[in-house]
A = this chain, B = another copy of it.
Amino acid sequence: MHRGQLRESGMSENPPSNPWVYRFGNGEAEGSAAMKRLLGGKGANLAEMSRLGLPVPPGFTITTAVCGHYYEYGRRYPNGVSEAVEAALAFIERCVGARFGDPTNPLLVSVRSGAPVSMPGMMDTVLNLGLNDATARGLAEHSGDARFAYDSYRRFLQMFGNVVLGVDHHEFEDILEMYKNDVGARLDTDLAAENWLTVIDRYKAMMGDRLGEPFPQDVNDQLWRSIGAVFGSWRNQRATTYRLLHGIADDLGTAVTVQAMVFGNMGSDCATGVAFTRNPSTGENRLYGEFLINAQGEDVVAGIRTPQPISIEGRQAGDSPLPSMEEAMPEAFAELMRLRERLETHYRDMQDLEFTVQRGRLFMLQTRSGKRTARAALRIAVDMAQSGMITEDEAVLRLDPAALDQLLHPTLDPTAEKHVMARGLPASPGAASGKVAFSADEAEILAGRGEAVILCRVETSPEDIHGMHAARGILTTRGGMTSHAAVVARGMGRACVSGAGELRIDYRSQTMTAAGIQVRAGDIITIDGSSGEVLLGAVPTIQPEMSGDFATVMAWADRTRRMRVRANAETPHDAKTARDFGAEGIGLCRTEHMFFEADRIVAVRRMIMAETEAERRRALAEIEPIQRKDFAELFTIMAGLPVTIRLLDPPLHEFLPSSDEELAQVADASGSEPLKVRQRALRLKESNPMLGHRGCRLGITFPEIYEMQARAIFLAVLDVAECTGQPVIPEIMIPLVGARRELEILKGVIDSVATEISKTREHALHYLVGTMIELPRAALRAEDIAAVADFFSFGTNDLTQTTFGISRDDSSAFLSDYQRAGILPADPFVTLDQKGVGELLSIAVERGRRGRPSLKLGICGEHGGDPDSIAFCDGLTLDYVSCSPFRVPIARLSAAQASLRAATAESE
């Protein structure tokens, strides 16, 4: 097949004469890259390459509209399709100079699926179609290579037999294996033409046997049955499940592309290969790929032979003993390099290419945007923007914010060997290795000795915080993406795998078992919080890099975004991390997290358990100076930036003493008896702590708690102002408000503390008082509540729990069933449920601003770090999002993308 041949065809029109079939080839095409919806990704790109004059074997694409019709009308084709296919086939014949079914010079074609959205490996493909006993003989003669011809024929029988006729793979493999044994052959390549003829006979006999009819020799019959099989594969189990999992619409349909075969396996001047226009792993601007001489595409994938590097540089880097394409086929390589340039300039993105060299001539079989690692994506976007190929805004839009996580945490070395012991949820990104410890204390002791530790628990509670801090990673067998372990780990930037339900932890024997494998305390494991894998032994990891390209893109993002990004942080360490990651303030300081530190927990427990106000005030008096110091530290670290402090919101049960030791400590500190303390704890126990006596309800019944916290805040404000000379304006946030009057009363408590302090200290105090909107009722009553609130911060974790009536701690029992059944598109605790919770947010924004036009609006739930949710928040015109420190860069990028997309949408 020569370029000359391709020219002969003379394709007349564009658009096509027939609406169902689009031809390409010979430097022209009826379709283009813009027509993915109709032609599928593969068909559209083949048309585009053809249009660009690239050497593409000619062919045609039967559209997705035909697929739609096929399913709508009981698997029948629209009128005119068969005529159009016939005409298009004649077009290929003219281009190639061979005829379909012609025993002297047969045209062979491939029949491939191609959906508008990539669904790799999900649907079926038939190659070498057009072979039968007669044309195989003709191909042997015409190519002068009988072995090639019969090998092609038996491959076709196998593929057609399996894909179209439904004969199981192993039936073919059994025959082939047995025959190779018989003739003493080890590899397929040991078999000669005659051998393949025998195999072909046995294949045909077996198929005739299984199917009750002989293998179809009519090439048109072969073609139509293959087209039907490809359309049919759109609804096979595999493809349907894949679409469900990836949120791909069922009615998109697939296109079918029929294309002239070219062969990389006709001799040593033939080859087949895949290449990326840049390195998909590092992003380096160099052609990267592999090829095999005298091979068909499937051989590269099958891994039977070791592929050779494409460039000299690649050979040197990989230390390969085999010659590179650059050396073995310099002309074809030079052509590939030219096409690489051409395609990147045209598509303005890194491309993933498939090519074949047939008798020295290069043919392009596929081009598409290449998948890449987060690292490569970053580098490519920056390089392309800096070279002027794309704009900086486009570079910002090119990056997947969720993938940034990979850059911010250690990742498993992809080349390392892995022994997966169990799988859980990817609860907090990053990979970590360390010794197994089954208690927080043990983890702390080991870490104190300088050992890396993985804390393994059935689930964690606030009392494990010190152990979680000490550990490199946390593994739990119970709990979801928003369980205590997951939330705290994300906040701390620790890797975490949660809810690894296959694992059984036995605290008594200090062992952990899954699928017959047992791990003991002190054994080393690795967890990958980005994939949810639990691995045996220490797996090497790659460390993150946050300067360079990362900093460049972040600067571009910051320049374009409208929303501010704050962090949820309460410890000095987290606050510093947040600032380093570019947080523009603290959006949520959860004071109850501060209460778990060892130096105060007993006083906090006494406070919670107090039977009288006097006893409560005594305990609070002990806590106040510690809180004051905490706040002063935070204000100092965040100097110049806003800090939102949420007053105490403990799920009561997290503070109740339970162990004998804890009960004794509390009894001791309060001068009571352990038995009485235990009884009190039992009385305080709640059936549904999430809906219990928490948040501002505690402030209403025990105003002295919020009084103490307000005092600690204001005194810290004065301490820091004195020290630094800079004013601090705290934003005090009241949690779990459901009615205006709650906020009114508690704002009154805060105001009177402020008045008293500014009087005795003779220093004016400036501060804001606002509320979390985390209950459906608060969203509905937002106008009323806004009348007494300086700001709202959406607590979407609790709002999601209450709107759905689902406890995130208990949701793991059914949430996966829900996603499988397509009830929920995503875990609503990870990505904001826009249709339900989102409507409440939108109601609250509108009504809140009606109640107070100057209302400041933000979000501080976990969703504040989720890209889709951030885009939604931008649409709601929130002023800021607040998220875990480690997600701040993700939020910055997401906010920028949201701004850019909004601007585009507006200008359209």
**A180→B835 CA distance, assembly (Å):** 80
Cross-interface CB contact of A803 among B701, B776, B837, cutoff 8 Å: B776
Cross-interface CB contact of A776 among B774, B802, B814, cutoff 8 Å: B802
CB closest residue in chain B, given A738: B804
Cross-interface CB contact of A810 among B688, B776, B839, cutoff 8 Å: B688
Report chain B residues within 8 Å CB of A824. 739
CB closest residue in chain B, given A835: B781
Cross-interface CB contact of A741 among B742, B777, B823, cutoff 8 Å: B823
Q: A689-B687, A777-B837, A823-B700 are in contact. Are A805 and B798 (CB under 8 A)?
A: yes
Report chain B residues within 8 Å CB of A776. 776, 802-803, 805, 836, 840
Q: Does A813 contact B (CB under 8 A)?
A: yes
Report chain B residues within 8 Å CB of A653. 687
**A689→B689 CA distance, assembly (Å):** 10
Q: Does A818 contact B (CB under 8 A)?
A: yes
* Those of A787-818 within 8 Å (CB) of chain B: 798, 801-807, 809-810, 813-814, 817-818
Report chain B residues within 8 Å CB of A697. 814, 818
Cross-interface CB contact of A687 among B738, B777, B810, B817, cutoff 8 Å: B810
Would you call A803 and B775 a contact (CB within 8 A)? yes
Q: Does A570 contact B (CB under 8 A)?
A: no
Cross-interface CB contact of A775 among B780, B805, B814, cutoff 8 Å: B805
Would you call B692 and A689 a contact (CB within 8 A)? no
Most buried by B among A701, A776, A833: A776
Most buried by B among A687, A689, A804: A687
- Within the complex, the shortest CB–CB distance from A241 to chain B, in Å, comes to 16
Encoded as 1 (CB less than 8 Å from any B CB) or 0, chain A from 670 to 689 comes to 00000000000001001111
Q: Does A147 contact B (CB under 8 A)?
A: no
Report chain B residues within 8 Å CB of A798. 805
Q: Does A119 contact B (CB under 8 A)?
A: no
Cross-interface CB contact of A701 among B742, B817, B837, cutoff 8 Å: B817
Q: Does A693 contact B (CB under 8 A)?
A: yes
**A777→B839 CA distance, assembly (Å):** 9
CB closest residue in chain B, given A809: B687
Q: Does A546 contact B (CB under 8 A)?
A: no
- Within the complex, the shortest CB–CB distance from A172 to chain B, in Å, comes to 36
Copies held by the complex: 2
Report chain B residues within 8 Å CB of A691. 688, 690-691, 801, 805-807, 810
Would you call B814 and A693 a contact (CB within 8 A)? yes
Would you call A818 and B775 a contact (CB within 8 A)? no
Would you call B818 and A700 a contact (CB within 8 A)? yes
Q: Does A822 contact B (CB under 8 A)?
A: yes
Would you call A813 and B738 a contact (CB within 8 A)? no
**A688→B742 CA distance, assembly (Å):** 24
Q: Does A745 contact B (CB under 8 A)?
A: yes
Encoded as 1 (CB less than 8 Å from any B CB) or 0, chain A from 724 to 740 comes to 00000000000010110
Q: A688-B809, A821-B741 are in contact. Are A780 and B814 (CB under 8 A)?
A: no
**A801→B802 CA distance, assembly (Å):** 8
**A184→B734 CA distance, assembly (Å):** 65
Report chain B residues within 8 Å CB of A774. 805
**A745→B701 CA distance, assembly (Å):** 45
Report chain B residues within 8 Å CB of A839. 780
**A822→B692 CA distance, assembly (Å):** 19
- Within the complex, the shortest CB–CB distance from A44 to chain B, in Å, comes to 32
Most buried by B among A688, A776, A835, A836: A688
Report chain B residues within 8 Å CB of A745. 821, 823
A-B contact pairs, 5 of them (CB 8 A): A688-B809, A739-B824, A776-B776, A776-B802, A781-B835
Q: Which 10 A-B pairs have the closest CB atoms?
A: A691-B807, A688-B807, A777-B836, A776-B776, A692-B810, A775-B805, A693-B813, A686-B810, A741-B823, A688-B690
A687-B690, A693-B813 known; 14 new pairs, CB 8 Å cut-off, are A686-B809, A686-B810, A687-B810, A688-B690, A688-B809, A693-B814, A700-B821, A741-B822, A775-B803, A776-B836, A776-B840, A780-B803, A798-B805, A802-B802
